[in-house]
Copies of this chain bind each other. A is one copy, B any other.
């Protein structure tokens, strides 16, 4: 089971040669979800050898350019490469018009359907659900309407113990019943308890994306016990006033959110371009929350902690 995030951009505001602005690729068991899409994201995907046609859902946290200016280019490239599959975009309602007038100006009629889902900025809301995954949006505290996203793999079925299944020569038709918790009775009437045949299910597992936001404790109940929290950390603590004014966070504020939410792991990112070396900003986060990591372009993080 893969549950990982590839950092496609770790900088705030402006791109630098080493760091692109915000974008991440979440891989949940080979389903690919793109979160934010700054200018240059399509090239970052190529550098990480990720096939952009495999992305079916895109989540845009807010309409500051460093989170979405790369979307129109990515969409155009998917068209030029002959995509036919539907693309679903979760974003502020204004984005649809921004995309459409650019397509009209180039007389482009996309060869694949696009569905825009408008984000709401009131209560946390389930915006996507399938058999295995549930995705919620929740409001952050920024200068324009902004959402964070919580991706959760739901309660998973018990895993079968393959070696025992083989040893007992249990027919394939019985395996679904066993996965659903039933015991197995063999041809001779001998009963094997489900707990003997199966492993404990992998517990639910979750990833929260919080960018951009000022320090905002309202999100804590929503992301409580999250396995991995990505939280923006635009500034170091000596610029906390900047952070408060611009509704961004410091690394220590990000770490405090991680601590209070009982996160398993914290990834910081969305750094101001002034920080060339990330060790000092990471150290500040670690001083509050030891299990902190620094996002860097191209880096892949496992979400699960076991």
Contact = CB atoms under 8 A, between A and B. Distances in A.
A226 to B, nearest CB: 28
A239 interface: no
B105 A13 contact: no
Nearest to A65: B76
Interface size grouping (class) on chain A: 35 or more
A42 B40 CA distance: 10
Contact of A65 (B40, B73, B101): B73
A64 B79 CA distance: 13
Interface of A: 13-17, 39-40, 42-43, 46-47, 63-66, 69-70, 72-73, 76-77, 80-81, 92, 94-95, 97-98, 101-102, 105-107, 143-144
27 contacts: A13-B77, A13-B80, A14-B42, A14-B80, A15-B42, A15-B46, A15-B73, A17-B43, A17-B46, A17-B47, A39-B42, A39-B69, A63-B105, A64-B106, A65-B72, A65-B76, A65-B106, A66-B76, A69-B69, A69-B72, A69-B73, A69-B76, A92-B105, A94-B101, A94-B105, A98-B102, A101-B101
